[in-house]
Amino acid sequence: MCWKLVRLNFGQNLAHFGEVGIGLEQTSERVRSDTLFSAWISAYAKLFGKEAVGQLLKGYEEHPELAFRVSSTFIYRRKGNRYTYYLPRPLVFPKGYPGSSEEDDLEFAKVYKKLNYLPLKIWHRWYQTEIGFTEDDREELITKAQAGNEKDIDRNGDLYKAGTFDYSKFFKFDLVPKVAVDRITRATNFYHTGFVKFHREPEKDEDAGLYFLISFPHSFDRTLEKNLKISLDLLGEEGIGGERSTGAGRFEAEWLELDNLWTDILKPSNLINPHYCLISLYWEKSLPDGLLRKSACYEILARGGWIASPFSGRQLRRQSIRMFAEGSVFPILPQGELADVRPKDFKNNHSIYRSGVSVSLPINTSE
C-alpha cells in the first residue's frame, strides 16, 4: 500500500460538523470518513462528470483491492516545526494495564476513560510495542486525577510531555446567533448554530487543524491521485460540513509523505496478539466469519443525513445505516464496502453511496 497524510488547515474559518441526533446548536470537532468520502466524491463529480465518478465508484464493487481508502479526520497540533497527531484510543486495554482493585484505581480509571484520543507517540507505545502501559503511566494518571487544577499536574511525565491531556485545548465550540425569516409571513425565528474553531496563535507560531490518512494500492493510476488532489482543493474552496453558505468549513489541503513514526505504526514489528483498530467507520453487508469473536470490542453508530446530488439538484434524506465506529477492535482485518443509501422515492438513475470502506491499524491487545 502507498500511504499519504493530508492536513486540512482551516485558518480562521469556522466549521459545522453535524452528527445524527445533534441539532444545529451542537457540532463535532472533526469529520468522519463517510462524510469526507461523500463530500470529496461530490467535488470529483463536479469537476470530471458523471461518467468519470461512475467508473471510480464501480471500482469499489469490481476491484475493491484496487480502490483508495480514507480514514476519518482527527486533530493535529503544530508548534513551530513540531506536529502532534491524535488517534482514537482503541476500545481495549493496552498491554500492561493494571487490573488490581486498589482504592485509587477508581480515580485512575476515570481519567483513563476520558482519554478518547491519544497523541501518536503514546498510542504507539501503549498498543504496538513491548513497553505498553507502564507503572509510571499509572502514577501519572493518578496524579492527574488528584490534581486540583492545572498547576498541580506533574509536568515531567511522558504523558504530559506528549500532550496526552491537551486534546480539548486545540479547538473550541462557539454558538452564533441567527435569524430565520419566513418567506411568506415575514415572521422571524431566532436560533443558534454551533461552530468549531481550531486553535490558532500566530504570535506563538501555533495552530491546529484536521488530518487524515489515504492509502492507495501499490499499482495505481497516478492520474487518480492528481485528480483527487484537484477535487480536494475544490472541496476546500467550497467548504466541508454544514453552513457552507456563510463560508464555514473552508480549508487548504497539504499532502505529505509519512515520517518514520507513522511508518512504524503502519507496519509494527513483533505483535504478540495482533488485532485491528479502526481509524475510519466500517460497514459490510455480510460480516466475515470470526470478526465478532470474543476478543472483539466495538461501538456502533447510526449514520444518516441528507443527499446533495449534483446531477439531480434535489435534497432528500438518505437511508440510515448502522456502522462500526473508530476505535473498534477486531481479531481479523475488516475490509468494508460502499452502502447504497438511496431514498426510496429517489427516481434518478444513479446510486447514493455511503462509504463503509475501512482503514485500520494493527495493535497488540492486553491478555
Does pLDDT of 235 surpass 80? yes
- Which residue, chain included where needed, has cell 500532550? 163
Sign of CA dihedral 264, 265, 266, 269: positive
Q: Label residue 79 by pLDDT band (50, 70, 90).
A: very high
Distance CA(87)–CA(329), nearest Å, equals 14
Cell of 337: 464496502
- Express as a percent the part of the chain with pLDDT over 90: 58
Whole-number pLDDT of residue 251: 97
Does pLDDT of 56 surpass 70? yes
β-pair type (206-216, 252-256): unpaired
Does pLDDT of 150 surpass 70? no
Q: Quick one: CA torsion of 218, 209, 282, 244, rounded to 10 degrees?
A: -110
- Which residue, chain included where needed, has cell 449514520? 303
Does pLDDT of 319 surpass 90? no
- Express as a percent the part of the chain with pLDDT over 70: 88
Q: Label residue 43 by pLDDT band (50, 70, 90).
A: very high
Radius of gyration of the chain measured on its C-alpha atoms: 22
pLDDT tens figures, 287-297: 999 999 989 99
Does pLDDT of 26 surpass 70? yes
| Helix, strand, coil tally for the chain in percent (to 5) | 30, 25, 45
- Which residue, chain included where needed, has cell 513483533? 270
Q: How large is the average pLDDT for residues 110-117?
A: 92
Does pLDDT of 19 surpass 90? no
For the chain, the structural domain boundaries read 2-172+192-363
Amino acid at 266: L
Q: Which of 190-199, 215-224, 292-301, 310-319 has the lowest mean pLDDT?
A: 310-319
Q: How large is the average pLDDT for residues 215-227?
A: 84
Contacts of 163 (CB under 8 A, 6+ apart): 77, 84, 119
Distance CA(120)–CA(38), nearest Å, equals 27
What's the whole-model pTM score? 0.90
Cell of 281: 467507520
Nearest to 278 by CA among 359, 362, 197: 359
Q: Label residue 98 by pLDDT band (50, 70, 90).
A: confident
What values do phi and psi take at 314, rounded to 5? -105, 150
Cell of 44: 470529483
Whole-number pLDDT of residue 351: 74
